[in-house]
Amino acid sequence: MPRHITLKDPHRESRIYSTRTIAAIILVVGLLAVILVRYYSLQITGYETYRTQSDRNRIQLQPLPPKRGLVYDRNGVLLADNRPSYILSVVREQVPDLEATLVELQALVPVSDSDLEKFRKKLTRRRPYEAVPLRFRLTEEEQARLAVNRYRLPGVVVDAQLLRHYPYGELFSHALGYVGRINERETLVLDESDYRGTFHVGKVGVEKYYEDILHGEVGYQNVESNAHGRVLRVLERHAPTPGIDLTLHLDIRVQQAAVDALGDRRGAVVAIHPLTGGVLALVSTPGFDANLFVNGISSVDYSALRDSLDVPLFNRAIQGQYPPGSTIKPIMAMAGLESGLVTPESTVADPGWYKLPGDRRKYRDWILRIRGTGHAPRVDMNMAIAQSCDVYFYDLARRLTIDRMYEYLHPYGFGTRTGIDTTSERPGILPSTRWKREAMAQPWYPGETLSAGIGQGYMLVTPMQLAVATSVLASKGQRKTPHLLQAIDGQPVAPPPLEPLIAKQENWQEVYKGMREVVHGKRGTAKYLAKGIEYEMAGKTGTAQVIGIAQNAVYNEDEVAERHRHHGLFIAFAPIEAPTIAVAIIVENGGGSSAAAPIARAVIDTWLLGEAG
């Protein structure tokens, strides 16, 4: 009997279908549950986290560098300003292949090896998504080339930024100093948050001394950008706080007059207002164009400045240390009067040379070479100052002794930094027995006292110190810290007052009388300055030896190399009855004071006879 085969089992198929349907539903519900859980995680529990990550991809925090404060002279002339400049920068995180991009950029715009080196150093010290500058001061043509190729240069940014500019170039280079690009050493010192987006910092001079005031405070903005890093819109902005403007005591007319009078000679001029201590002129020649340093000076230009025999980077006004020569004599006269060792009527025999008791050596007076004898059989204080008699001051120095000389000269500002508001000032040397013992481990000899008495030997001063001392003379002992800064944001400022130098009025007048005779007397060492003068000037000539001269040797300037010739110095103040300017000048290897004195006349004429300062 054939076997019965069931072709269709509705009940079984129904069970299978039901089972599969339930399984499918469970699977779908499970998957939906997973999706819902994940959706909940993304939208609810992890919302802030993922929103932040999303914002990081499209929103950037960009620093907004502040505008650097401007610098003006006393008459409102702009000495340091800011000019717009286009900067080529790179955002590393947005560049797929940095080396390839750099190669492309070099094909489009000139990029020096120095620019590349600085870029790579800066690249290692940046924050994420911070633009690193590669080239400054792009021309319009270079901007256009970059704009045309921007689509294939992701992460390359061209931004406008204000850069420091010095309209007068060399004229104020040593007075103002300059800013330059922040280097690796400075990044370790500067507060990173204060200098985000800022590429420059004050390097020397006023720019460095007042960096905190001039710099300002960095701002920031949140911007939305596309996948290529292009900014679409600004979401939030906090404006930077600009730096504060400064007004200096410097007078561009006086500064220019000093530079013109010095010409191409090496030297320095410092002019101070005796009543305030404000520095009216601070000149050191030769100078340099401060604009060269703003974006990083080229190696060629820097080598030329560094290797020059005239050392234009050296600020002679505050760093140069020179023997003051005979310019020290009015202060020595004040020391003699105040100590009671001499009176205005005291006289000294002057054969043209001086001998220490028990010593055969002759200390010669400069007049001996010219006349073969002294200034007069006997010389009093007035003649000694007017005609610069060495013998008179040899005798006074011997009687004072070197340590008492130190006590009387130190209050005038010698042997210590003046405290002027700039950088790299040097202290000079005011010798004493203690100084020589500590500096050289040697005793002091009497002959060295005589040399110090006429501003030679170990004594060294800066032109700034000499101007300060002249200012103390001019103000009859009113001591002021010299300062360049006159006002901050229009508000006058002044350094704390110093203790005045107390001396008898008649002693000041006696020294004034001798200094007046230097210029206005018939036999004054600078009588040629009085021609056509419209005011009364008190002055003192000075000559500083550069090389030693043997006991019986004769100095012949024509036979001496130019850089071995004497320095010429001159100090002065005017008008005598109520001084408003005190000056100190040095002309390196000028041969004598005749090289320096006319510069003082030009500077003082400009201040007193020009437009009101």
Give the tens place of pLDDT for each residue, 486-542.
Answer: 999 999 998 888 999 999 999 999 999 999 999 999 999 999 999 999 999 999 999
- Do residues 116 and 147 both lie within one domain? yes
- Do residues 464 and 598 both lie within one domain? yes
Instruction: Give the pLDDT of residue 321.
Output: 97
- Do residues 225 and 371 both lie within one domain? no
Phi-psi region of 555 (alpha: psi -120 to 50; beta: other; left: phi over 0): beta
- Report the candidate in 430, 354, 346, 351 with the shortest Cα–Cα distance to residue 385: 346
- Report the candidate in 109, 187, 191, 203 with the shortest Cα–Cα distance to residue 150: 109
Instruction: Give the pLDDT of residue 190.
Output: 87
Domain boundaries, position 168: 60-248
- Do residues 185 and 277 both lie within one domain? no
In angstroms, the CA 420 to CA 484 distance is 7
pLDDT tens digits for 410-440? 999 999 999 999 999 999 999 999 999 999 9
Q: For residue 428, tell me if it sits in a domain.
A: yes
- Do residues 158 and 279 both lie within one domain? no
Is it the case that residue 612 has pLDDT exceeding 50?
Answer: no
- Do residues 593 and 452 both lie within one domain? yes
Q: For residue 395, tell me if it sits in a domain.
A: yes
Among residues 173, 326, 471, 593, which one is catalytic? Answer: 326
List 485's β-bridge partners, or say none: 248
pLDDT tens digits for 321-347? 999 999 999 999 999 999 999 999 999
| DSSP letter, residue 599 | H
- Report the candidate in 544, 522, 603, 608 with the shortest Cα–Cα distance to residue 270: 603
Phi-psi region of 277 (alpha: psi -120 to 50; beta: other; left: phi over 0): left
Contact 459, 493 (CB under 8 A): no
More confident residue, 418 or 162: 418
* Beta-carbon contacts of residue 135 (< 8 Å; ≥ 6 apart): 87, 88, 109, 110, 111, 115, 142
Pairing mode, strands 267-272 and 279-285: antiparallel
Q: What is the value of pTM for the model shown?
A: 0.84
- Do residues 159 and 229 both lie within one domain? yes
Residue entry with tokens 């360049």: 484
* Beta-carbon contacts of residue 302 (< 8 Å; ≥ 6 apart): none
- Report the candidate in 460, 436, 446 with the shortest Cα–Cα distance to residue 325: 460
Q: Per the structure block, which two tokens stand in for 332?
A: 């020595």
- Catalytic residue status for 471: no
Read off the amino acid at residue 32. L
Q: How many domains does the chain have?
A: 2
- Do residues 282 and 208 both lie within one domain? no
Q: Per the structure block, which two tokens stand in for 487?
A: 């006002």
Across residues 404-408, what is the average pLDDT?
97
CATH of the domain at 428: 3.40.710.10
Contact 313, 332 (CB under 8 A): no
The lowest-confidence range among 312-316, 360-364, 545-549 is 545-549
Residue 50 — very low, low, confident or very high, per pLDDT cuts 50/70/90? low
Return mean pLDDT, the chain: 90
Instruction: Give the pLDDT of residue 613.
Output: 40
